[in-house]
């Protein structure tokens, strides 16, 4: 290897570092596209139908030669982004929307540019201190004291997994104990908990699915009796998983009652508040989530209740020492990082060592907009949901589910004389998706096919609700006409 070869390679490699003029061009083109995207959201569909021609992206070559900036941005704008679901739309009423605040996106940009490693305090004390501050803020919101701690995760799935590992280690469950160990949950518990149990090596533990009341909440008295029966059988009751806003119906379990049972029976009490947790910012949410402070661990998703981009989750544990013990590690090459920080580093509290600095995408919006703006937005979503539920309840042939605890409820079209309501509602859903102006997801409740309506997009306001009601009426009328024509 000669110096000439090194110099030649360096010349080519330096193209990876654009100069000021090139950076300005790329930023200008990107900003123009992003501004156009945001300004045209009202004209965009909430769901854009597509076919397999989108898979032609697989044939797009990655070449040795660089591509033109305009061509790259054009591909993003016309080929990559449009097909399918548009979570940025205020008319996205399916699943749980990802917010995508602009201020959060700017935080991500600055995070990527500065590229701080947020895994350990030694490497980036500012990043670790900022993320610790955010965790402390969430802990206070839950009602924990100064012993609490946690970390910012990629989402609820990783946060739930980390909580389960912590609960397993805290109970000192060995391989010989797993088949006798019992976890208590419901059919409405998010599926990521089942997956987390499997990944955590607890696949063969006993799972007790406690029955639900008529509002889809865990029956606390049945939970108590089931724990007692398991103890009499010589089993090991271990963990209770309660929901603060179930995925299907938004129901909140009786958190206080369940917490008291958990304390009496000495079980680990975990609350999945990925969806509902940030409603604690509102007075109504505080009342409905009363008792969440009794939990040993709580999962929250800022990409839900704080409207951040996808990839923003959090785990908060009442006793941070238990979280640290469950994720201890040691490596010679990390010896330089062992300094007295006065706080735990994220790498000491989670499975992650290569840690993205997620904190800036959360901190910037909270600082720039103030917490009151988030409180107002969440209260608005609660009121919009109640308004929509009432409007549907008044509509002919619409059967609504239980009045919503938060911002999720179910409904179905149930005209008289229709033998197969499931098939009818599937056709209605397909027509809504094909129309694309609004988007709804579906689920099954007591084996009935139902629409699942959720309001949690930062861009969902009264105008979008009225659009949904208009679209629903229009498509029901068209569907009725088609059925009538077919029967004549």
Residue 271 near residue 242, CB atoms below 8 Å? yes
Question: Regarding beta strands 268-273 and 297-300, do their DSSP bridges make them parallel or antiparallel, or are they unpaired?
Answer: parallel
Q: pLDDT at residue 339 above 70?
A: no
Domains in the chain: ranges and CATH: 107-370 (3.40.640.10), 372-487 (3.90.1150.10)
Structure tokens at 396: 């002919």
pLDDT averaged over every residue in the chain: 93
Whole-angstrom Cα distance, residue 371 to residue 302? 13
Q: How far apart are CA 66 and CA 64, in angstroms?
A: 7
**Distance, CA of 68 to CA of 57 (rounded, Å):** 17
Q: Give the residue-averaged pLDDT of 121-139.
A: 94
Kindly tell me if the per-residue pLDDT of 483 is higher than 70. Answer: no
Q: What is the pLDDT of residue 282?
A: 98
Structure tokens at 340: 């007295």
Q: Which residues pair with 445 in a beta bridge?
A: 448
Residue 485: the pLDDT is 57
What is the predicted pLDDT for the residue at 332? 52
Q: What pLDDT digit, counting tens, does each position of 90-105 carry?
A: 999 999 877 789 999 9
pLDDT range class, residue 247, cuts 50, 70, 90:
confident
Helices (H), 354-461: 359-369, 371-394, 421-435
Q: How confident is the model at residue 430 (pLDDT cuts 50, 70, 90)?
A: very high
- Please say whether the beta carbons of 263 and 240 come within 8 A: no
Highest average pLDDT, of 84-98, 130-144, 331-345, comes from 130-144
Is 305 within 8 Å of 276 (Cβ atoms)? yes
Return the pLDDT at 97: 76
Angle, helix 125-142 to helix 359-369, in steps of 10 degrees: 60
CA distance 156 to 270: 13
Res. 218: pLDDT tops 60:
yes
């Amino acid at each position: 290897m000669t110096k000439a070869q090194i110099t030649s390679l360096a010349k080519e490699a330096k193209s990876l570092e654009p100069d000021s003029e090139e950076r300005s061009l790329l930023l200008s083109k990107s900003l123009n596209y992003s501004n156009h995207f945001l300004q045209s959201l009202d004209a965009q569909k909430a769901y854009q139908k597509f076919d397999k021609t989108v898979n032609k992206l697989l044939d797009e070559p990655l070449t040795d030669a660089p591509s033109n900036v305009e061509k790259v941005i054009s591909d993003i704008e016309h080929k990559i982004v449009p097909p399918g679901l548009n979570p940025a739309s205020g008319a996205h009423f399916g699943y749980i929307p990802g917010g995508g605040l602009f201020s959060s996106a700017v935080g991500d940009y600055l995070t990527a540019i500065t590229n701080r490693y947020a895994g350990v305090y030694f490497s980036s004390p500012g990043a670790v201190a900022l993320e610790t501050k955010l965790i402390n803020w969430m802990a206070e919101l839950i009602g924990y004291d100064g012993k609490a701690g946690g970390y910012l995760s990629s989402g609820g799935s990783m946060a739930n997994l980390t909580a389960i590992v912590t609960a397993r280690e805290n109970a000192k469950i060995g391989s010989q104990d797993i088949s006798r160990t019992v976890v208590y949950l419901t059919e409405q518990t998010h599926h990521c908990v089942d997956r987390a149990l499997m990944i955590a090596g607890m696949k063969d533990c006993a799972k007790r699915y406690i029955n639900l009341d008529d509002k889809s909440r865990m029956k606390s008295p049945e939970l108590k009796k089931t724990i007692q029966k398991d103890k009499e059988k010589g089993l090991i009751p271990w963990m209770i998983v309660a929901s603060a806003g179930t995925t299907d119906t938004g129901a909140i379990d009786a958190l206080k009652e369940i917490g008291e049972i958990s304390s009496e029976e000495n079980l680990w009490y975990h609350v999945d508040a990925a969806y509902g947790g940030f409603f604690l910012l509102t007075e109504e949410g505080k009342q409905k989530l009363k008792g969440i402070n009794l939990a040993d661990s709580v999962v929250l998703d800022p990409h839900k209740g704080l409207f951040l981009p996808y990839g923003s989750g959090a785990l908060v544990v009442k006793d941070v020492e238990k979280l640290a013990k469950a994720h201890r590690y040691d490596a010679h090459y990390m010896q330089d990082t062992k300094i007295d920080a006065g706080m735990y580093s994220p790498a000491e509290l989670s499975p992650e060592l290569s840690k993205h600095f997620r904190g800036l995408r959360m901190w910037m919006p909270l600082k720039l907009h103030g917490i009151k703006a988030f409180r107002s937005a969440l209260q608005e979503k609660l009121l919009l949901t109640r308004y929509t539920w009432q409007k549907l309840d008044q509509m002919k042939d619409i059967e609504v589910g239980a009045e919503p605890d938060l911002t999720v409820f179910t409904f179905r079209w149930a005209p008289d004389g229709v033998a197969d309501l499931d098939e009818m509602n599937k056709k209605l859903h397909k027509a809504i998706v094909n129309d694309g102006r609004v988007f709804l997801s579906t689920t099954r409740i007591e084996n009935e096919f139902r629409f699942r309506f959720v309001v949690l997009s930062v861009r969902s306001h009264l105008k979008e609700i009225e659009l949904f009601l208009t679209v629903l009426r229009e498509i029901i009328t068209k569907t009725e006409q088609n059925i009538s024509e077919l029967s004549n």
